[in-house]
Structure 1
């Protein structure tokens, strides 16, 4: 299978009808069309595991892959009004049925549909921009972005079906698993339980106000009907995820940086860990005696969280980033992953110093933690959505990641990535484990 995918990308790079032509960005596009494709293959060797539970990472060696092919079509409708539609084909097979850890190894694996490819809609939204003055800024053509000009001070409304991470928790150095770090904990705050379906997309709306060095963002999005499922809960005004973000751009030693403060408030039918531990009615026919289950005690609940996100250039080619997030940790994971506290710190460098300006190297350290009540729940044999070893010798989950992205053709990059994890699923009795992989990415 790998041979077929590599041949596909090689052909894409050599047979492009635009090869050798001059790139001309129009002053203002009425429409555009772009595409990307990403293939990721990873290997996990065997790990030490004196015991395993229903949602444990397999102790044996495993391979995993994911593949996505995305089209992005944009149309200018009127002054400031734009419409975008992105169809996507995806397939892939995760490790251990996508269980056994919080900081998963591949940000694309949520799109995996099994060995057979699936076609679905990943984006369908409108964007309205109201210019409010200030210096004009040029906008280049790209996926979900029409070339043209925009006012420095502006109000932007985005509404429709799209990933909330298109708007919130961006970071110049760690946000896109197709081109940067692969780990979930580098594409976003790992403890940011943002409202979305199992693929990371949802219906909703976000309003952004740009003024000087400041950006204010607010959004409300549909929750899944059940935790981490594709079906969405259409009770939009009673069950939703709400996010507020304040961003400030600054200069430090003459280099640009940004600091973002993010607030999260989620409302949904969620199971409380305390209720599950206290109520013997949580036992199901399939459960062992005495094992709690949040799925049996779901009720109206509210989950809160707050995070900080920093990006800072040190030189034009080298920058650092950091993320930290806290959520209350009383209710089950609903739309992202199993973390209540998360921290990430890393650096990224482009290869201009060694004559490879389009190459990138990155390194990062991550740490995830759970609330005290969730630790009790897991120790009692309870299961989360992604984790559950049957018992628990608690320790924070710790991850290191390094990658090198090599431009091999005009629009094609080959990446080597390595991740090392201690205490997978917060269990000091299991692991450590490593993930070695390659990524092939093409975009036009």
Structure 2
């Protein structure tokens, strides 16, 4: 099937040190005090499993194309299971290995939307369960003084104490989003929002294979409330495919992120500024349009993928606790939009935000209520390409009555037991694939999740 082996997305999302932060609200002062005496771990082993069922209602469509979301009623499911194995071979060193298995059937072959509805889906490789290595990486930390802070035990995170001033090198097989674009309230589709354009920067075309993983290295410098990180990772050989290239000096994804933690009205918050630049064998939309004009044909990006091109973009990521039980987030991102989507989804401008509430106020402290929105759009040349009948990897209705794609998502996450949750999720999508002649789309989801 066409979607087999496609690029995952945060995919890696929710699984590394960044994922651990995304699975809970920022700690209160009392929790931080209690964590001061954390016992250092030499090894740990964690496990997660997530099942997502989705149902889409029929919707109005004046026409459909080769990469349209089907206007008919559809059902979908995904399943993932991951083991997180960690070992401390020497002081400051941490080695992690994550075997993973996945399967699933997407809505409409995983086409027809910029903000796709299931952040777990891209990890799957078809209706048959398939096992693979998700991560194998080394993290080395060099303490540089300052106050110490506790590190809690978690997936891909060994408990212990660390300097607030430190240098951290991470290298190996992992996800770019394990390190970049973290957010405590919107980062993990296994426990938080499901939509691709809510769980991360929609315009962040980060390097990844078809399951969302890659090889590379990142260096982080932490100095009290500040952090600066930069990394380079290899790209797939072809857009959104599984096989990765090996020339990290020719085909790569670079990113740099500046982070500052602050306190506002007595509550913690963080601001992150991200910039990225990709180099890969990508097609330019204008080249496809020019070729189509000369040949009187429908423009096709696959016919003009002849040389190495660059893509640049940036993002702003804000998280802020309003109270101990309420947190809000906001993201804005933009890519230059000259070239095809290479490893994420077809979004070149995105604004998203939302709120998470713990259930403490109604006596359900383990529950979470969330509401979010996303507004996605395309560059001018990408619009002209689609209007002329061109198709991208994920979208292409044959024609285009352009409007920004707008997504609303709400969920309620119920804790059934210490290590088990069930989530009810609802998504409402206007102008799917940026087309006012189609939609709105309504998708309901049920998510089952366990971790221990």
**What TM-score comes out, normalization by structure 1 length?**
0.92
Q: How many residues align?
A: 415
Task: Please report how far the alpha carbon of residue 149 of structure 1 lies from its aligned counterpart in structure 2 after TM superposition.
Answer: 1.1
* CA distance in 1 between partners of 2:145 and 2:247 (Å): 38
| 1:275 lines up with 2:282 in the alignment | no
Distance 1:282 1:301, change over 3 A: farther
Contact kept in structure 1, 2:227 and 2:259, CA below 8 Å: yes
1:193 to 198, 205, 209: 205
Residue 231 of structure 1: SS of its match in structure 2?
Answer: coil
Question: Does the 8 Å contact 1:224/1:232 carry over to 2?
Answer: yes
Q: 2:108 aligns with which of 87, 93, 96?
A: 96
Match of 1:110 in 2: 122
Moved over 6 A (4+): none
Q: How far off its partner does 1:281 sit? A: 9.2
Contact 2:230–2:256 at 8 Å: present in 1 too?
A: yes
Mapping for residues 312-351 of structure 1, pairs under 5 Å: 312-351=320-359
Match of 2:301 in 1: 294
Query: Which residue in the other structure is 2:385 paired with?
Result: 377
Correspondence for 1:174? 186
Shift of 1:26: 6.5
Structure 1 residue 127 and structure 2 residue 139: aligned? yes
Provide, for residues 210-234 of structure 1, a one-character-per-residue CA deviation record: whole Å limited to 9, x for no partner: 1011000101011111100011111
Deviates more, 1:396-405 or 1:43-52: 43-52
8 Å CA contact retained: 2:42, 2:87: yes
1:64 — aligned with what? 76
Distance 1:164 1:281 in 2: 38
Q: How big is each residue's C-alpha offset from its partner over 1:149-187, in whole Å with a ceiling of 9 and x where there is no partner?
A: 111111111000001000001111000000001111121
Equivalent runs, 1:238-249 vs 2, <5 Å: 238-249=250-261
| Aligned 8 A contact 1:394 1:428 in 2 | yes
SS at match of 1:49: coil
3-state DSSP of counterpart to 1:256: strand
Once the two structures are TM-superposed, the CA of residue 282 in structure 1 deviates from its matched residue by 9.2
Post-superposition Cα deviations, 1:238-292, rounded to whole Å, max 9, x if no partner, equal 1100000000011111111000000010001110000000014997xxxxx6211
Per-residue displacement from partner, 1:407-441 (whole Å, max 9, x unpaired)?
00110011000000000000000010011011000
Q: Which runs of 5+ in 1 are unaligned?
A: 1-24, 284-288
Give the TM-score taking structure 2 as reference length: 0.90
In the TM superposition, what is the alpha-carbon distance from 1:139 to its structure 2 partner? 1.1
RMSD over aligned Cα atoms: 1.2
Structure 2 unmatched ranges of 5 or more? 1-36
1:146 aligns with 2:158: yes
Offset at residue 443 of structure 1 (A)? 0.1
Alignment-derived partner of residue 235 in structure 1: 247
